[in-house]
Amino acid sequence: MSLEQTPIVEIQNVSKQFGSLYAVDDISLSIYPGEFFSLLGASGCGKTTLLRMLAGFETPTTGRIFIDGQDITDLPPYKRPINMMFQSYALFPHMSVADNIAFGLRQEKMPKAERDQRVEEMMQLVQISKLAKRKPHQLSGGQRQRVALARALAKHPKILLLDEPLGALDKKLREQTQFELVNLQERLGITFIVVTHDQEEAMTMSSRIALLREGRIVQVDAPRRLYEYPNCRYSADFIGSINLLDAEVISQDEDLVTLKTDAFEQPLQVYHGQPLIAEMDVTVAIRPEKIRVVNSSGTHNANTIEGVIKEIAYLGDVSIYHVELPSGKRIQFTQSNIQALAEQPLTWEDKVCLSWQADSCNLLLE
């Protein structure tokens, strides 16, 4: 994201208090035009409250929200240049599909001919032209989702808010719809802000993700960076699976840090740009797919350990192996199954030697 660009949405120190509880606690965020931005987090992290404040259904206790430089904090929902797709879709049960989509256009008193044309365009966009006369209760879940999307897009909003847009769909349809949403967003150039609890969904669709926890932002980054360079244990653990090792800093030679851990005798080595203090308690995070099985020759080298395979989960494309170290600590690693078949297959109780590069793991301070 280039810094010269002006944000389309600017959230400044926004908090929302319900009773004594802070649902959103001093969040500041800038979202830029054309982004597919995800608010990701477990339930109760405040992501929905933040979205509802953007839509205007909740008023921030403190802080301001700007859209295109205009302060919209006190603007009622019906005056905001934002539309929202609701988690429950909230289709009007007494109106046909076409009338649902036309609802917003009627509010702005668009002439009938133009309105009909826009409704037709929207229905084509989400491929539901044949359903124009149906009522919501005559539609399947996937069709309803499309109507909700068409209705929210009909007014050509600057920003579209989507609350768990794929939450009610089954897995197969969800995967397909993910790509359709991304294509649609790229084609229309509208800024999408999505709330989701599903990290895979966020990873697939987003240009950037804000990971939230207990009303605060943990990390804001592109999916790749969030995965490769988590800034704390929480985000490392939330996105994908990872091995977390408690470690203590021994020495730092330029960027190469050497550490010791209770999990095994061998020293750990990680690259870390910031200066560290010896004997500092830190966490080393290693993704399972970055661990390789090696010959048991160099077991005294750093980042090389030995253990016994205790569990194997076969997932088709990859297998996950749980390895028990002599200390009792378990380490996970994954191997693509093409590789597993080519080499000698690994099985239960096999003794393996594992190794990883110092630049393929992360040192986390908190």
Instruction: Summarize as ranges the residues that interact with other proteins (CB under 8 A).
Output: 55-57, 76-79, 82-84, 86, 88, 90-94, 96, 103-104, 107-108, 133-135, 138, 151-152, 155
Cβ proximity to other proteins: between 109 and 172 the closer is 109
Q: Residue 128's CB: how many other CB atoms inside 10 A?
A: 22
Nearest approach in angstroms of CB 342 to other proteins is: 54
CB 218 within 8 A of CB 239: no
Cβ proximity to other proteins: between 164 and 221 the closer is 164
Cβ proximity to other proteins: between 86 and 271 the closer is 86
CB 66 within 8 A of CB 9: yes
DSSP helix/strand/coil, 83: strand
Nearest approach in angstroms of CB 88 to other proteins is: 6
Closest CA to 267 of 221, 301, 296, 310: 301
Nearest approach in angstroms of CB 12 to other proteins is: 23
Closest CA to 84 of 58, 116, 119, 121: 58
Cβ proximity to other proteins: between 90 and 308 the closer is 90
Q: Virtual CA dihedral for 273, 277, 278, 284, nearest 10 degrees? A: -50
Measured between alpha carbons, how far is 200 from 45 in angstroms, rounded to an integer?
Answer: 17
What values do phi and psi take at 270, rounded to 5?
A: -140, 150
Nearest approach in angstroms of CB 119 to other proteins is: 13
Nearest approach in angstroms of CB 301 to other proteins is: 59
Cβ proximity to other proteins: between 92 and 314 the closer is 92
Measured between alpha carbons, how far is 24 from 2 in angstroms, rounded to an integer?
Answer: 27
Nearest approach in angstroms of CB 153 to other proteins is: 11
Tokens at residue 16, please? 């929302």
Cβ proximity to other proteins: between 7 and 56 the closer is 56
CB 252 within 8 A of CB 213: no
Tokens at residue 127, please? 């491929």
Nearest approach in angstroms of CB 135 to other proteins is: 5
Nearest approach in angstroms of CB 225 to other proteins is: 33
Closest CA to 156 of 98, 115, 128: 115
Nearest approach in angstroms of CB 208 to other proteins is: 24
- Gap between the terminal Cα atoms of the chain: 26
Cβ proximity to other proteins: between 85 and 236 the closer is 85
DSSP-derived secondary structure for 309-357: EEEEEE-SSEEEEEEE-TTS-EEEEEEEHHHHHHSPPP-TT-EEEEE--
Give the strand pairing for 318-324 and 243-253.
unpaired
Cβ proximity to other proteins: between 104 and 165 the closer is 104
Cβ proximity to other proteins: between 76 and 141 the closer is 76
- What Rg value do the Cα atoms of the chain yield, rounded? 25
CB 286 within 8 A of CB 356: yes
